[in-house]
Amino acid sequence: MIIIVFSIIIVLFFTVAVLGYFLLEEVTRKDRLTNRLQFVTVATEEIVEDLKPAVSPVIGLVSTLGMLVARSGLLSRKTLSEMTATLEAIGFRGGRGLGLFIGTKLLLFLITPAIVYFALRHYGTTPFFVFAKILGGAVVGLLAPETIATNIRTRHLKKVESGVADALDMMVICADSGLALEASIARVAQELIVLNPALSSELTQTSQALTIGTDMRNAMEDLGQRTGIDSLKRLATTLIQSLQYGTPLTQALRTLSAELRQEALIKFEERAGKLPTLMTIPMILFILPCVFLIVAGPAMINVLATLHGMK
């Protein structure tokens, strides 16, 4: 019986490994539509690759299972939208991303308890510890994919936010040179590929939406809502108002860029102001004992020597 269960665990382990491999391939796979739009808008000399890999049965099964759960109503719209935004930040843009993510969570929810149980089978053999191991494995398997994806999304958004002011300055230069707003966004996205790839990908997605005919208002609002970054929401509002009321675009962008840089400076000053408070505990733990030892050490040695001599 133990051999049969162990064999099942090995099969499940290899299934998860194969699934992870294909998920990695799905993340790193370039979308054909993205390549074609970049080829048309940026006019590069790269040959658009014909990427249409055969879908693995495992990937298809897991994706189908995940989509069934997503469409069943068990998850709210807000949860699904947050998952979609997180997946877009880590490389899944459309397609089977949401289904694969939900299906992977369910698969790990079923497999991880068995792995944890057999890995720790010699520790805690009472029913309480057995139940705790199974429950802990289920919780880890259910939350681990979302935790990893959320951490990747958080780092992505921090990189995006750090480059907004530079992007605004570039857009001002493009506007002064006579480029239209759509062309300015595409040009800035191209220039930021090396400097800030995260922000470049977001601007590229917005540029592609404008290229296929999306309204400027909807495209800019989608940029702010997709990232959730306040500076990009303000950028979208500024551009929409500039187009609606005919205000000078370069002046509005310069004002917004100056505000963002001033806010960044204030944040740096706040962090610098917190340093004395944060340094208090390290000083007490590491610096003051050394000072006391240097100041009081010779006196203590003399006292100990005197007491020893009296004996």
Q: Which 3 state secondary structure label does DSSP give 160?
A: helix
246 lies in a domain?
A: yes
Q: How many CB atoms lie within 10 A of CB 181?
A: 17
Shared domain check, 152 and 15: yes
Which is nearest to 158 in space by CA: 224, 219, 238, 227? 227
User: Which amino acid is located at 41 in the chain?
Assistant: T
298 lies in a domain?
A: no
Shared domain check, 57 and 145: yes
- Distance CA(66)–CA(98), nearest Å, equals 7
- Distance CA(161)–CA(309), nearest Å, equals 70
| Per-residue pLDDT tens over the stretch 225-246 | 878 888 888 888 888 888 778 7
User: Which amino acid is located at 12 in the chain?
Assistant: L
311 is written with which tokens?
Answer: 């004996």
pLDDT of residue 34: 54
Higher pLDDT among residues 291 and 67, named by residue: 291
Secondary structure string (H, E, C) spanning 84-113: HHHHHHCCCCCCCHHHHHHHHHHHHHHHHH
Q: C-alpha angle with apex 94: 92 to 97, nearest 5 degrees?
A: 50
Q: How far is CA 160 from CA 26, 137, 202, 204, 271, in A?
A: 23, 35, 8, 13, 20
Residue 81 scores a pLDDT above 50:
yes
pLDDT of residue 303: 83
Residue 4 scores a pLDDT above 70:
no
Residue 61 scores a pLDDT above 50:
yes
Element (H, E) at 255: helix 249-278
pLDDT of residue 45: 39
| Per-residue pLDDT tens over the stretch 149-200 | 888 888 888 888 888 888 888 888 888 888 888 888 889 988 888 888 888 8
Shared domain check, 187 and 72: no
Shared domain check, 150 and 10: yes
**pLDDT band at residue 56 under the 50/70/90 scheme:** low
pLDDT of residue 41: 47
User: What's the average model confidence in pLDDT over 217-221?
Assistant: 83
Shared domain check, 174 and 34: no
User: What's the average model confidence in pLDDT over 201-223?
Assistant: 84
Element (H, E) at 25: helix 2-28
Shared domain check, 41 and 170: no
| Per-residue pLDDT tens over the stretch 244-303 | 787 787 888 888 888 888 888 888 888 888 888 888 888 888 888 888 888 888 888 888
User: What's the average model confidence in pLDDT over 52-63?
Assistant: 62
Shared domain check, 27 and 135: yes
Higher pLDDT among residues 74 and 300, named by residue: 300
pLDDT of residue 94: 57
| Per-residue pLDDT tens over the stretch 91-135 | 666 556 777 778 788 888 888 888 887 887 777 677 787 788 888
308 lies in a domain?
A: no
300 lies in a domain?
A: no
- Distance CA(194)–CA(174), nearest Å, equals 18
268 is written with which tokens?
Answer: 């740096």
For CA atoms 174, 177, 183, 186, give the dihedral sign: negative
Shared domain check, 15 and 42: yes
- Distance CA(254)–CA(235), nearest Å, equals 11
Residue-number span of the structural domain to which 190 is assigned:
163-275
Number of domains in the chain: 2
User: What's the average model confidence in pLDDT over 210-235?
Assistant: 82
C-alpha neighbours within 13 Å on the C-beta side of residue 121: 8
pLDDT of residue 23: 55
